[in-house]
Amino acid sequence: MRVHAGLVAALAGAVVLGLTAAAAPALASSGTPAPAAVAADIRSGPDGKALREAIAGLPDADATAALVRVRGKKASWHGSSGVRDLTSGRDANPEGRFRAGSTTKVVTAAVVLQLAAEGEVDLDAPVQRYLPDVFAPHADAFRRPISVRRLLNHSSGLRPGRALGTTFEELYARRFETLTPQEVAASSLAKGPAYDPGTRQEYLGVNYTLLGLLIEKVTGHSYEHEATRRVLKRAGMRHSSFPGTDPRIHGPHNRGYQAVRTPDGGTRLVDVTEWNQRDRMAGGDMISTTADLERLTVALFQGRIVPKPQLEEMFTVPSDIEGATMSAGLMRYEAPDGRVVWLKTGGRHGYNSIVAATRNLDTVLVYSVNSTDAKGQDMNPVAQRIIEAALKPARR
């Protein structure tokens, strides 16, 4: 939850602190609006000047590229900064694909809620009913039922599943190996529950690993097939995909890097673009673009992906858990000016992303930042500047 805490702190400071950065040099990257469009943005929509300043100066120590899309009531802004790769130094591709990380959970939640609308899944039923083979070896430890809803809102009581290492160096060395979702789920259940379901929230990817397995069990098809058919195609996400065991990002993309300390106390950047993400599956392996994630957000919030009765699950946090902030696939944040923003962040090595919007879509923010420490505990400074610029109160 520390990453989420950092995000909340950044959002809270967006309005209170304002932006004090000096005027930045003009960006050379594509997607920068013409002066007339910038003036229109300032009057009735996103603050183009603040957003350009937020992503200026890349690459730097914190990020090698940034892609941003912001929609307001009457105007939109999109821009990019940085480079496609450090070798060529070419301008970042504003339409580049990237690892969307845990924003994948929004898609997974949407599929489960569709199945609920069809009567194929009961959100109040125990997941043990849908995945008896997965839970059978650990039945004694999991006598208390874990409802599907508890998986969706991260109040299941599960413990983290295994990974291929605990440090970046270990994970990087094994980045082309395959760890299956079944192995991740089994390793989590073997540890037994951490707390009684429904007594607190703890953000864990294994909740969505189990939801992915549930989708496969109920539909008889792969998670990738169902997520593509039910969500990506309906939202018009033509440049998004689930790579499975393929470590590559196909199509145009900006390469990702991780900062690594050197023996002499310096830092070098390691290319982490190619990486087998199979263990993330329904929790974080989607490849997407900022335009596609904007399409997803708009279509979802408009009720074109999930029927409106079930869509309420995405805008409802548990009322019986003190301090709860997470719903089905999203997180609730109340800005200092009273706006309620529903969001989801994502982070894979080399890439940080976000989808965020008010429910009425008066404000929509999507970004991908090629962070040099995407899995770090602190929020990326470039991402924080983007959030501060995007969620400033509109000028009147």
Instruction: Give 45's pLDDT tier (boundaries 50, 70, 90).
Output: confident
Residue 13 has pLDDT above 70, yes or no: no
* Per-residue tokens: 259: 């900062």
Residue 16 has pLDDT above 90, yes or no: no
What is the arithmetic mean of pLDDT over 240-266?
96
Q: What pTM was computed for the model?
A: 0.89
Report the pLDDT value the prediction gives residue 337, as an integer from 0 to 100.
83
How far is 239 from 125, CA to CA, in rounded Å? 35
How do strand 340-348 and strand 257-261 relate by DSSP bridges? unpaired
Domains of the chain: 1-94+330-396 (no CATH), 98-286 (3.40.710.10)
- The four Cα atoms 212, 118, 226, 348 give a dihedral, to 10 degrees, of -40
Cis peptide bond N-terminal to 59, omega within 30? yes
Instruction: Give 395's pLDDT tier (boundaries 50, 70, 90).
Output: low
Contact 162, 171 (CB under 8 A): no
* Per-residue tokens: 395: 């000028």
How far is 236 from 21, CA to CA, in rounded Å? 37
* Per-residue tokens: 279: 């263990």
The one-letter amino acid code at 128 reads Q
What is the arithmetic mean of pLDDT over 8-32?
34
* Look-up of token digits 């800005």: 335
What confidence tens digit (pLDDT) does each residue in 205-236 have? 999 999 999 999 999 999 999 999 999 999 99
* Look-up of token digits 């200092």: 336
Report the pLDDT value the prediction gives residue 11, as an integer from 0 to 100.
46
How far is 106 from 230, CA to CA, in rounded Å? 12
What confidence tens digit (pLDDT) does each residue in 163-181 have? 999 999 999 999 999 999 9
Residue 23 has pLDDT above 50, yes or no: no
What confidence tens digit (pLDDT) does each residue in 287-346 have? 999 999 999 999 999 999 999 999 999 999 999 999 999 999 999 999 878 899 999 999
Residue 124 has pLDDT above 80, yes or no: yes
* Per-residue tokens: 30: 């594509």
Residue 374 has pLDDT above 60, yes or no: yes
Residue 89 has pLDDT above 50, yes or no: yes
The one-letter amino acid code at 311 reads L
Residue 19 has pLDDT above 80, yes or no: no
How do strand 267-271 and strand 364-371 relate by DSSP bridges? unpaired
Report the pLDDT value the prediction gives residue 78, as an integer from 0 to 100.
96
Residue 27 has pLDDT above 90, yes or no: no
